[in-house]
Amino acid sequence: LISHDFSVIEAVCEKIIVLEKGRIIENGKIKEIIEKPISNYVKSLIKHYSKGNYEPSMKWNGGTKKVLEVSCVSKFAESKNRREPILDRISFDLSHKETLGIIGESGAGKSTLAKIVLNIVKRDSGSIKMNHTNGEVYELSKPFNRIGAVFQDNLSSLNPRMNVYSIISEPLIILGDKNKTEIRNQVESLMKKVRLNLDLIGYYPYMLSGGQRQRISIARALIMRPSIMILDEPTSALDMPVEKDILDLFKEIQDNEDISFIFISHDIKVISKISHNL
């Protein structure tokens, strides 16, 4: 069994091997390692695994203004003889600077809902309205650059042939921005905002850690200055210390930016740490 989650390992394993940067740093009975860890890395993992580490719901400093209204959205899977609902009349509102948590087991339709809100998957019925800061209301039927996204698998969502600079700047270039100095300044500013060393600007995805790649995904989503970001299992592939850093980063971004989050996860602990409402 291979996992980054001590709670999963503890439930099914008697002995474990702990890897860090390709080296075995501890091995033995899991009970002994949890009770008397030797390395700082394992101590950090256990600290974040310990019960009670996740805080209750965050204090909400936003307002009551709705930025997104999802009404009676349905999606069906059709075969020759059957029509099965993937999503059945889903409705919710997202308010200004709110983080709304969406939780469910695998196959519950969480990612399909995310793609429908992003309008990269067509819904069969229902409506999605976005209230822009300028007062206009948009009925969304196609992708909109005011809604960004960060996905679970950052290695497959980043082009392996593009370096960090090209990945983050790509949305601006697609929209026709030709001011190279301004683009460079924005990329560097966002790298600092997501706590990435500027020395990494010429690196390619395979040269980076999972946490670094996820920060690149966040920077790329932020470069269009979205008012809503959909975060689809953004920490599930990360080990627990890195997970905590990324969650703290999301909270910092929301504190400093005029942005609302839809946070999708199967993990109630993560949801309770990051969300205002569920």
pTM, two decimals, is: 0.80
Q: What is the pLDDT at residue 5? A: 62
Q: H or E stretch including 167?
A: helix 164-174
DSSP conformational letter for 58: P
Q: What is the pLDDT at residue 185? A: 96
pLDDT digits (tens, 9 = 90+) for 91-140: 888 888 888 888 777 778 888 889 999 999 999 999 999 987 777 888 99
DSSP conformational letter for 109: S
Q: Which residues of the chain have pLDDT under 50?
A: 51-57
pLDDT digits (tens, 9 = 90+) for 189-212: 999 999 999 999 999 999 999 899
Q: What is the pLDDT at residue 260? A: 92
Q: What is the pLDDT at residue 213? A: 94
Q: What is the pLDDT at residue 266? A: 78
Given strand 99-103, what is the order of strands in its sheet?
99-103, 260-265, 228-232, 147-150
Q: What is the pLDDT at residue 103? A: 79
Which SS3 state, helix, strand or coil, does residue 230 take?
Answer: strand
Map the chain to HEC letters: CCCCCHHHHHHHCCEEEEEECCEEEEEEEHHHHHHCCCCHHHHHHHHHHCCCCCCCCCCCCCCCCEEEEEEEEEEEEECCCCEEEEEEEEEEEEECCCEEEEECCCCCCHHHHHHHHCCCCCCCEEEEEEECCCCCEEECCCCCCCEEEECCCHHHHCCCCCCHHHHHHHHHHHCCCCCHHHHHHHHHHHHHHCCCCHHHHHCCHHHCCHHHHHHHHHHHHHCCCCCEEEEECCCCCCCHHHHHHHHHHHHHHHHHCCCEEEEEECCHHHHHHHCCEC
Q: What is the pLDDT at residue 57? A: 46
